[in-house]
Structure 1
Amino acid sequence: MHVCIFGGTTEGRLLAEFLNDYNIKTDLYIATEYGEQFVKDLNNVTVHQERLNKEHMIELFQKYNFDFVVDATHPFAKIVSQNAMESTECCNLKYYRIVRETVENERAIYYDTVEDIVNYLNNVEGNILLTTGSKDLDKFTKVSNYEERIFIRILPMESSLKRAIELGYSNKNIICMQGTFSEELNVAMINAVDAKYLVTKESAASGGFDEKVMSCIKTNSKCLVLKKPEEEGVTFVEFKQIIRGNV
């Protein structure tokens, strides 16, 4: 069996480790060098650090005889998922989308788009701890006085830091750290920057979501959550059952 995985996520890493344990030849494609360091010492897994568009995926699938392709990319990486789905259809390959199991927390406030969150923040006062990553930093520059109000927590990657600075975020408001973060650390950060709002993306427990919500409750701040896109697929547990049934 030969499997192709897309994803520099926790699910992608766990899938690679699972397939490695079953001695299944696996090619794992991740977008950043940063994610590569978390997948090590897997004899049956080859890690490729490169971004592939639809044409590149088709070329890849035509070159290698994969039994199936697993999309374990981030729920908000919609373009990558769309390309992977269309490429597998074109090459007549089996495609599995790994979906995250999330439970809505009634103590958080949910929004459909970044623009909805920005509109809300423009009608309130107070500092903001932004934990949605570097991808949407440009959209949050629409928040009034964002240079002073917004404190961003991003991965310790040169590209992310450079992007933040180029967009005008204040150097003193940039926190470069790798999560996940405990409730206690979130509380400390919220208090340190005097944040009245924490902005995050909807995620599974592995993303430290509940810890963020609880830290907001303890600091009397509001947790603003960007909903993940609706999608169909199989869970990590269900996919493991599929593999066990095929080996």
Structure 2
Amino acid sequence: MKILLLGGTKDSINIIKFIKKNFDAFILTTTTTEYGAKLAKDGGSDATIARPLPKNELIDIITKESYEILIDATHPFAEHITQTSVSIAKELKIPYLRFERPITNMENIDTSHIQYVKSFVEAGELIANEFNEGNVLHFAGANTMADIVKNVSIDRFYPRILKVEKSIEKCRELNISQDHIIPMTGAASTEENIQLIEKYDAIVMITKESGEIGGVIDKIQAANEKDIAVIMIQRPEINEINKENIVSNLDELDIKLKKLL
């Protein structure tokens, strides 16, 4: 079984380990960064590609190398690549599975500090209007910073990013000071988030609704503890996906793969 896995998330590493343990499969994992590719390789992926791939290149790889299954385990907010991967699977008539991490269970969480928005531009506008003094912690990745700083001064903007050249370059392009950059190696604990709120004297935190694996609960609990606001960007709805092709855990993935075999 030859699988093309669109990765770059912690979910994708878990998928690689699970498939290599339970199936006779060759896995090529694509990521947008060298760091993501290294993690995939360490997780057991047979091959990796560490750069964004346009649609035509993905089609060439699948057809020339005879990949039989396309698994999309990209981030819930990577809307464009998910739309692209769905169209590729339809065009090539190969099985497509979308691994979509569950929405965060807020049942026992104090959500009184959360304000929901639909985009990062909207988040920046909300901060400009309602939190126009004090510092802003940005826990939503380097690719989303530009939409925030359209309305928020970089003097009070503190992003937590992976310390890879691509992310550092985005900070340079936006003139974000080196001493405002918070290096990240993975999801932070509640206590680590509290320490960052205190260190940078933050009054508001920006995050995506990226699920428990993305550390959302720890961010909310830290904000609750320090009585600061959380601006949470809601997940985009991707209408192109057939719900029958969505799995949310490894057990569901196992059932789908066994059916395909």
Tell me if TM exceeds 0.5: yes
**Does 1:88 find its partner at 2:89?**
yes
Q: Normalised by the size of structure 2, how large is the TM-score?
A: 0.88
Contact (CA 8 Å) 2:29, 2:40: kept in 1 or not? no
Partner of 2:139: 131
Does the residue aligned with 2:49 lie in a helix, a strand or coil?
strand
Q: Select which of 171, 175, 183 maps to 2:178.
A: 171
Deviation digits for residues 10-64 of structure 1, max 9, x if unmatched? 1111111111112312111111101122234566622222321111111112112
What one-letter code is carried by the residue in structure 2 that aligns with 1:184? E
Contact (CA 8 Å) 1:199, 1:225: kept in 2 or not? yes
Take 1:133 and 1:42, find their aligned partners in 2: how far apart are those partners?
A: 23
- The aligned length equals 246
Does the residue aligned with 1:138 lie in a helix, a strand or coil?
helix
What root-mean-square deviation, in Å, do the aligned CA atoms of Structure 1 and Structure 2 show? 1.7
User: Against the structure 1 CA distance between its residues 174 and 62, is the aligned structure 2 distance closer, same or farther, given a 3 Å change threshold?
Assistant: same
Q: Normalised by the size of structure 1, how large is the TM-score?
A: 0.93
User: Against the structure 1 CA distance between its residues 44 and 148, is the aligned structure 2 distance closer, same or farther, given a 3 Å change threshold?
Assistant: closer
1:69-108, aligned counterparts within 5 Å? 69-103=70-104, 105=106, 106-107=111-112, 108=114
Report deviation, 1:216.
Answer: 0.1
Partner of 1:118: 124
User: Against the structure 1 CA distance between its residues 64 and 183, is the aligned structure 2 distance closer, same or farther, given a 3 Å change threshold?
Assistant: same
Contact (CA 8 Å) 2:69, 2:94: kept in 1 or not? yes
User: Against the structure 1 CA distance between its residues 230 and 43, is the aligned structure 2 distance closer, same or farther, given a 3 Å change threshold?
Assistant: closer
For structure 2, which runs of at least 5 residues remain unmatched after alignment?
none
Report deviation, 1:186.
Answer: 0.2
User: Against the structure 1 CA distance between its residues 41 and 222, is the aligned structure 2 distance closer, same or farther, given a 3 Å change threshold?
Assistant: closer
Take 1:195 and 1:28, find their aligned partners in 2: how far apart are those partners?
A: 37
Sequence identity of aligned pairs in percent? Answer: 26
What one-letter code is carried by the residue in structure 2 that aligns with 1:15? I
Take 1:227 and 1:41, find their aligned partners in 2: how far apart are those partners?
A: 32
Take 2:214 and 2:81, find their aligned partners in 1: how far apart are those partners?
A: 20
Take 2:44 and 2:119, find their aligned partners in 1: how far apart are those partners?
A: 41
Partner of 1:37: 38
Does the residue aligned with 2:160 lie in a helix, a strand or coil?
strand
